[in-house]
Amino acid sequence: MIAVAGVAQAGEASPQRTFEAVAIPEARRLYSLALSILRDEGEAEDAVQETLLKAWRSWGSVSGMDRPAAWLTRVCVNHCISRRRLLRARGWPPLDLREEAGSAPARSSNAELIDMDRAYRRLSLKQRAAITLNYRHGYSIEECAVFMGCRPGTVRTHVARGLATLRKELIDD
Amino acid sequence: MIDLDPRLESRLRTFYEHIEDQSPPRGLAGATPPARARRLSLNLVVGVAAAALVAAGIALFATELHQHHNAPPPAPAGAGNGSSLPNASQMTAPLPSSTRTLIPVLHGQGAATLQTFTPNGLIFIEYACVGDGTFGVASTNSDVAFNEVACSPDGTAASVQGVIVPAIGPIGGTPLTLKVSADPATRWEIVIADGGPVLPGLTLDFSSAPAGSRVLVEGMYGTGTTSVGPFTHTGPIYVRYACTGTGTINFAASNSSEQIGTRGGCLNGAVGTALLSVQSLKGPVELSVGAAPKSLWEILVYEFPGPNA
């Protein structure tokens, strides 16, 4: 069973909603989120599948939450950052393999995108999650802390260090 | 919100827009309930531990056996198996090509006893089930068992799941009879195969890492990509491996902040050794093993402890 403390309370007045109506439409957003963190299409798909599976199995309580989307986000983020699979960072596998693998940024002719992708892959999963949630998805530091299961100060540290790494890597390029 | 310099903000925004332009796989975009992710690996230790689960399951099976007497016998798949269960080709798709089919894809409902077979090497049990209850498999001699899993609800598409059981010790080369435990209304499919003596690596003696070394990950079987660990180390990490096929097998070790990797070749099961790192990663380390989805591999991970061990 998934812990949902801090995200939403089950059993509140929200009407029961169907899984298809609530969770499935979230799949694309969750996939983008997972792909932003994991930078691996297969891993991202796995993360979303696992998230939806947990939602499906707990739908009796999830459907009654005020913000089931927030619950889905938290589960997805936790799944991503607990994987600890940093296969693509630190230049491994080499860029040529990433191109062979067909990831979109590597295929792109846009050199800046490739540089950014390479720099981004050097971030830890938690740094990626913190920057993605805070910068891209617009969640507050406190909300990010709930999603990531850590303290707000830790989120700030992840964001700051992640950005510092990006700046350094992009300047080095 | 993050306060970014305009240059980095622009590049980051473009980067994220590019990510968000990527469409999710069709399987995620469809309006169908999720399928369970497939995890097909079983540590030897887990395999042995799994056998112990039978003891707890005996009482349950006594009940299940009673139900079995009233259940229809399993039939070859395709004979009215219902659209929510995978077809035969989907059931066998995860099996490495080198495996030998012991029990062809069967469709059943409720508890059942399967035909006796004699396994060698690794036993691959692929299954899918639909219903409100659970599904489990155990052998009549208590050597094989895996815990009961929840089935996909009625009306949803069941995915193929699998476990690998090393047919070693009392299991290898002796007749084995498996029983399926399931609620009377639960429909299921199963296919069982074994690896046979296809991997020279199966002869690896997991207890005999080189003298002076320390085992970090006990011998482990798997297919596709799987993470193992965590473990801590003080010296260079070595991976002794064998894998089917002729593709590559990738190894990546990572802690919370850095990672290192290397790769090896799958030379139809020939045993190789990969040196993963010469420096130590601080703290708990996880090792990701990545090979083609149908490539069967086994690994033994060890180190030669450093001076600070």
Between these two residues, B280 and B249, which has the higher pLDDT value?
B249
Query: b/e for A66-103, b at 16 or more Cβ within 10 A?
Result: eebbbbbbbbbbbbbbebbbbbbbeebbeeeebeeeeb
Q: Token pair for residue A59? A: 């739908």
Q: Identify the structural domains of chain A with CATH numbers, from first to last.
A: 13-87 (1.10.1740.10), 98-173 (1.10.10.10)
Mean pLDDT of B178-195: 88
Mean per-residue pLDDT, B31-46: 32
Q: Residue A163: is its pLDDT beyond 90?
A: yes
pLDDT value of position B74: 58
pLDDT per position as a tens digit, B40-63: 333 332 333 333 332 222 222 222
Does the distance separating the beta carbons of A85 and B254 come in below 8 Å? yes
Check whether B185 has a pLDDT greater than 90. no
Pick the CATH number of B33-194 from 2.40.160, 3.40.50, 1.10.10, 2.60.120: 2.60.120
pLDDT value, residue A91: 35
Checking if the pLDDT of A161 tops 90, the result is yes
Instruction: List phi, psi (to 5°) of B92.
Output: -90, -10
Q: Span B152-171, mean pLDDT?
A: 71
Position B25 pLDDT exceeds 90: no
What residues of B are in contact with residue A32 (Cβ under 8 Å)? 19-20, 22, 24
Q: What is the mean pLDDT of chain A?
A: 73
Contacts of B153 in chain A (CB under 8 A): 56
Confidence at residue B198, expressed as pLDDT on a 0 to 100 scale: 46
Read off the pLDDT of residues A99-125 as tens digits, 9 standing for 90 and up: 333 444 444 456 778 888 888 988 888
Q: Which residues of B touch A55 (CB under 8 A)?
A: 34
Residue B80, pLDDT score: 41
Q: Using CA atoms, how far apart are residues A78 and B299, in angstroms rounded to an integer?
A: 28
Q: Does B53 touch chain A (CB under 8 A)?
A: no
Instruction: Nearest chain B residue to A155 by CA: give it.
Output: B2
For the cut 90, the answer to whether the pLDDT of residue B33 exceeds it is no
Task: Say if the Cβ atoms of B36 and A53 lie within 8 Å.
Answer: yes
pLDDT of A29 > 80? The answer is yes
For residue B90, give the nearest of B127, B131, B115 by alpha carbon: B127
Asked if the C-beta of A52 comes within 8 angstroms of chain B's C-beta atoms, the answer is: yes
The domain B200-303: what is its CATH number? 2.60.120.1300
| CA–CA dist B122, B132 (Å, integer) | 30
Q: What is the mean pLDDT of residues B22-30?
A: 60
> Fold match between B33-194 and B200-303?
yes
Quickly list DSSP for B56-105.
Answer: HHHHHHHHHHHHHTTSPPPEETTSS--TTS--HHHHHTTS-TT-EEEEEE
Q: Model's pTM, two decimal places?
A: 0.40
Residues linked to residue B301 through DSSP beta bridges, in sequence order:
B217, B239
In B29-48, the residues whose Cβ lies within 8 Å of chain A are 29-37
pLDDT at B307: 54
Closest B-chain CA to A160 = B2
CB of B263 closer than 8 Å to CB of B251: yes
Closest CA relative to residue B305, chosen from B213, B222, B228: B213
CB distance B35–A49 less than 8 Å?
yes
Out of A11-15, A126-130, B1-5, B156-160, pick the least confident. A11-15
ipTM entry:
0.78
Instruction: Calculate how close chain B gets to A8, using CA atoms only, in Å.
Output: 22
Task: Give the start-to-end residue ranges of the domains of chain B.
Answer: 33-194, 200-303
